Amino acid sequence: METTTALTADVLVVGFGKGGKTAAHALTDAAKRVILIEQSENMYGGTCPNVGCVPTKMLVHYANSRRLEDDAQEFFANSTAGVRALTSTFRAGNFEALDGKDTATVITGAASFVDPHTVAVGEGRDRITVTAPTILINTGSEPIVPAIPGLADSPHLISSTELTRTANLPERLVVLGGGYLGLEFAAIYQRFGTHVTVLEAADRLLLREDEDIAEVATEILAGDGIRIITGAKITEVRDDGAVSTIMYEKDGQTHTVEASALLPATGRKPVTADLRLDAAGVRTTPTGAIEVDEYLRSSQPHIYALGDVNGGEQFTYISLDDARIVLDQLMGEGKRTTADRTAVPHTLFITPPLATVGMTETRARAQGLNIKVSREKVADIIAMPRAYTVEETRGVMKFIVDADTDLILGAALLSIDAQEIINTVALAIRHNITATELRDSIYTHPSSTEAFNEVFDKVIS
């Protein structure tokens, strides 16, 4: 006879991502009984510490420290071993930090809804049901494999997750798509010694950025040895033993490129297919994302969706802010919403990194705003000796400033330390700190932030 273990909780969290675990910790600290269900023991803590931010940025660090005399395969194998060791430590720490609390329990297994308040895990004698008045869904997203003939069945197809875990350095990597994910992996593996080709369907990289910024970024990537092919429509993948042949059309002609590894980097989709959301009465969008309002409530008000699964921006720090919104609903004043977010920065971790926030020049001019643009090449910024001390003078800094109010509307920083500097710019935008105030402030020396002392005077328009 089949038996089912029935559990109850104050709050059920489905998915161990940044938003879910942050909310779970806060709720247990408030003496709430919390049960968290995670499908895989390899994903305690979510995408970021296991297969996303942490391993990829660690690989950036390792790749940039490789010397010419280092054997490429041996160096790569040692690097990925270091990554696996760190992610394993983080994973165990995430599990113990939550499951070790008196009012929290972590269950490993695939969850699916039975009704609006109940989720089931496992089958037969191992079946567990969890019922709770409040449910948080934080199952994240997964890579999309584009519908290109021959791609899905190719033995050389590899996901970004698999790339961070493999000990074998691909000889020839072809990246399908020139977005953030694709360019980060292209830059990492080129520096490890792989021959990298990026195939991008658009006429240029980084369409969301101003053309001048995209041009400098493209020059840096190409200068590092990455082969970048834009305007490429991939038509077929053919396999022949140790390599795949990717066929693509460009300028009316058919071309080919060979790869020992194929990385689709054309986007990610919410992980909802197996949750049986219909049983809970939870509506989804055509892409599978859970529909939410500005408070992150689904069509069932007691069920919230946090992180990538709600179809918003796919960044760990957005998932974290989602947790703040939900916790304000559950334990606070219930006023915080997604509409409160302004000046959210982003970083593309190539070398040097490209960090952006706010408006581009293109968007500002399209809106008819009266702006001035300050722009300077990093190599020409006298007030930024930091770039020379670390021997990374490539890149450019660009600011969009309201000519009438002197408020900063946006920035694109392609430079050493850009991922850090951009947070100061974002804070300035949120709190109406003027460009003049940033220019005239006192910064440590030598630092990258002190470039503000100079760049705001380099008005080009």
pLDDT along the chain (461 residues), means of 10: 80 94 95 93 70 79 86 89 85 84 92 97 88 97 93 93 88 94 94 96 96 97 97 95 94 96 93 96 96 98 97 91 97 95 95 97 97 97 94 97 97 98 98 96 95 92 64
CATH number, position 357: 3.30.390.30
340, 365, 396: which is the final residue of a domain?
340
215, 237, 266: which is the final residue of a domain?
266
Q: Tell whether 184 is in a known binding site.
A: yes
Q: Tell whether 223 is in a known binding site.
A: no
Q: Is residue 151 part of a domain?
A: no
Number of domains in the chain: 3
Indicate if 274 and 139 belong to the same structural domain: yes
303, 321, 340: which is the final residue of a domain?
340
Q: Tell whether 333 is in a known binding site.
A: no
Indicate if 139 and 174 belong to the same structural domain: no
Indicate if 361 and 420 belong to the same structural domain: yes
The answer to whether 445 is a known catalytic residue is yes
Indicate if 136 and 203 belong to the same structural domain: no
Query: Closest Cα partner for 316 from 359, 289, 346, 293?
Result: 346
Distance CA 64, CA 74 (A): 15
Domain that holds residue 426: 346-455
Q: Is residue 149 part of a domain?
A: no
Degrees, nearest 5: CA angle 426-420-211:
70
**What is the strand order of the sheet 227-230 is part of?**
227-230, 195-200, 172-176, 261-264
pTM, whole model, 2 decimals? 0.91
Q: Which two tokens stand for residue 204?
A: 């240029």
Q: Is residue 256 part of a domain?
A: yes
Q: Considering 61, 117, 156, 445, which one is annotated as catalytic? A: 445
Q: Tell whether 57 is in a known binding site.
A: yes
Report pLDDT for 62.
Answer: 85
Report pLDDT for 1.
Answer: 41
Indicate if 132 and 31 belong to the same structural domain: yes
Indicate if 9 and 139 belong to the same structural domain: yes
Indicate if 11 and 136 belong to the same structural domain: yes
